[in-house]
Amino acid sequence: MFRNNQPDQNNNEDENNTNLNSNNNNRTTTTTTTTSSNINSNNNNNNNNNINNNNNNNNNNNNNNNNNNNNNNNNNNNNNNNNNNNNNNNNNNNNNNNNNNNNNRDFIIRTIMQDLRLGIRDIIHPSTLTGLLGGYINALANLDQNQSSSSSSGASGSRSGSSALNSINNNNYSPTTSSLNRVRNQYNQVVRDEEDDDYDNGAEDGFDYDGDDNEDGSDSACESKKKRGRPRKPTPERCSNCKITHSSYWRRITVNGQKLDFCNACGLHQMKRNNRIKESKQRHSIQNIMNQNQEEEEEEREEEEEEEEEEDEEFETLEEEEEDDE
């Protein structure tokens, strides 16, 4: 009995072993499946997190770019507005300066004409003012100003169409007209004499034109002796600088190789400017610089000679002192 049962026990043990192996296999398969699923889920989560992070970074970059663009646009707009405001302010300042200059020029012209009206009373003897009462003395101020508006038409073709003279002639005041002509001729004589002095003292080809020529030829009789030999030149249309169309005295001055016509004030200013340019060119010329260099070299030589003489004198004094000591 005992021997017959031994093989059965062995069989049972084999079965148990097989069952254990199968259980172990099942456990390993379950563990491998669970670990693989966990790894896959972790990978998916990591991928999702990376995608979300990338999206967030892209959104942040887009927002930053938009903010930078907006800031740049705002800065550009502010700069443009500031530039426009500055330009407007500069234009306003220029306009104000031009208005001030025009006002100053008008004031100077009014002052000059007032001085002329007052000066006529001092230059001319009171007896020649007979018939000029009634406001006609003020017509003298308009003679030169209305030359440009004088008409060139007429039977005689002369330039005696000044509105101031026409207003007097139309009233048929012959004493007033003759007195006015005498006053104007005497005044022109004084002006010519003064301007002749300016011409002889360095005016560069200036010439005068006093307006209308009288029919009786009184203007030619009043010409100064210095100008009788010179032919009368035509009146310029306008000043090359201030564009004024009337002046009692015109100056023709060379500027940059061209001869230009200037009124009296602009001509004097241009002459001074030409003189300054000429002096500057002479001062900075090569010959002047060479002369200055020669003078500096001579001064240096004189200083060196003086130093050598002083050294010789000191040496001689030292020798004399040594001889005395011996």
**What is the C-alpha radius of gyration for the chain, rounded to an integer number of angstroms?**
55
Task: State the helix-helix crossing angle for 2-123 and 174-200, rounded to 10 degrees.
Answer: 120
88 falls within a domain: no
Domain that holds residue 127: 102-149+159-289
Question: What would the pLDDT profile of 144-189 be if each residue is shown by its tens digit?
Answer: 556 545 544 444 444 444 454 455 444 444 444 555 666 667 667 6
87: in domain: no
Q: Is 135 domain-assigned?
A: yes
Tell me if 173 is assigned to some domain. yes
- pLDDT tens-digit series, residues 50-101: 888 888 888 888 888 888 888 888 888 888 888 888 888 888 888 887 777 7
| Tokens describing residue 247 | 């002046």
pLDDT for the residue numbered 313: 84
In the chain, how many domains are there?
1
Instruction: Establish if 247 belongs to a structural domain.
Output: yes
Q: What is the pLDDT of residue 31?
A: 56
Contact call for residues 133 and 183 (beta carbons, < 8 A): no
**Is residue 177, in this structure, part of any structural domain at all?**
yes
Residue 114 has pLDDT above 80, yes or no: no
Beta bridge partners of 2: none
Mean pLDDT of 16-30: 58
- What pLDDT does residue 264 have? 86
Long-range contacts of 222-231 (CB under 8 A, 24+ apart): 222/185, 222/186, 222/188, 222/189, 222/192, 223/192, 224/189, 224/192, 224/193, 224/196, 226/196, 226/199, 226/200, 227/192, 227/196
What percent of the chain is modeled with pLDDT above 70?
A: 52
Between 130 and 248, residue with greater pLDDT:
248
Q: Is residue 60 part of a domain?
A: no
- Cβ atoms 162, 154 nearer than 8 A: no
In a domain, 166, yes or no: yes
Paired tokens of 178: 């003759």
Note the pLDDT of residue 30: 55
Mean pLDDT, residues 231-249: 80
Q: How many CB atoms lie within 10 A of CB 116?
A: 16
